[in-house]
Amino acid sequence: MSLPFLKMHGLGNDFVVLDARARAIPLSEQAIRAIADRRTGVGFDQLLMLCPAEGAGEVRMRIWNPDGSEAQSCGNGTRAVALLAMDETGADRIAIETLGGLLKAARAPGGLVTVDMGEPRLEWEDIPLAERMDTRRIDIHIGPIDDPYLVGPAAVSMGNPHAVFFVDDAKKIQLEKVGPLVENHPLFPERANVSFAEIRDPEHATLRVWERSAGATLACGTAACATLVAGVRLGKLNRKAEITLPGGALTIEWRESDGHVLMTGPAETAYRGEFGPHLAALIG
């Protein structure tokens, strides 16, 4: 079976995009893992599938991580799908159905896309955490028990769980060492995306992210949103700020009027492709 795909990215956060609106595309966990392999497959941070809308949206988006697990939300992926769908129809606005809820997107100046990511979830049971605690600083310590070097990250859900550490120098953090420890910490029953934010001033922060199931990433839209929210709650950031990741900058605003988080940034198509026989045989 011939099966085309798109390779897209938002600031280097890369996606394989499949279109299942006209015909169903059954995907097993084995197939997803095979497509995710950057040596023998295509490689991606997330696999995105466009499906027929079931509710108030124009399109429904499903999201999978490289390990085959399904995700509720993906900020950069939402921008990519929004741009794709708007270019198809010529529309300036679109609503996308996700497991995390209905997300509305619109064209922004300079060829950018703004996504309304909705309200952050800040209660411990909504993130979720394994036990009740103040989500502005949760009880996680990394390092020697009497002298930890990372303590008290903020916890935020943007449809997926995030732990956000505010640090003096994000470049010094050993992502490959610390990221998995926090991602798999017992406080996070669904695991967590882990961010390390360095505040430059109230309108600018630098961010490095260890993404749940994907590892170190060039960009993570929901992590940028979670960082802005956490920074506002702790008095470190204004309600609108530029969050710079290794792949580039996103503008994030936590709107006071309705509590919604707006994310603005680019999305691009890298290339169009078609799965080879060994991958196509795993699908369907």
Q: From the candidates 48, 170, 219, 220, which is the catalytic residue?
A: 220
Rounded distance, CA 228 to CA 225, Å?
5
Selection from 284, 245, 278 nearest residue 34 by Cα: 278
**225 assigned to active site:** no
Q: From the candidates 31, 48, 59, 74, which is the catalytic residue?
A: 74
DSSP for residue 112: E
Q: Record the tokens describing residue 13, joined without a space.
A: 């956060």
**51 assigned to active site:** no
**CA distances (Å), 249 to each of 33, 64, 76, 95, 243, in order?**
29, 24, 12, 24, 6
Residue type, 270: A
Measure CA of the first residue to CA of the last residue in the chain; give whole Å: 9
Distance of CA 208 to the CA centre of its chain: 13
Q: Record the tokens describing residue 62, joined without a space.
A: 């499903």
Query: Which residues does the annotation mark as catalytic?
Result: 74, 220
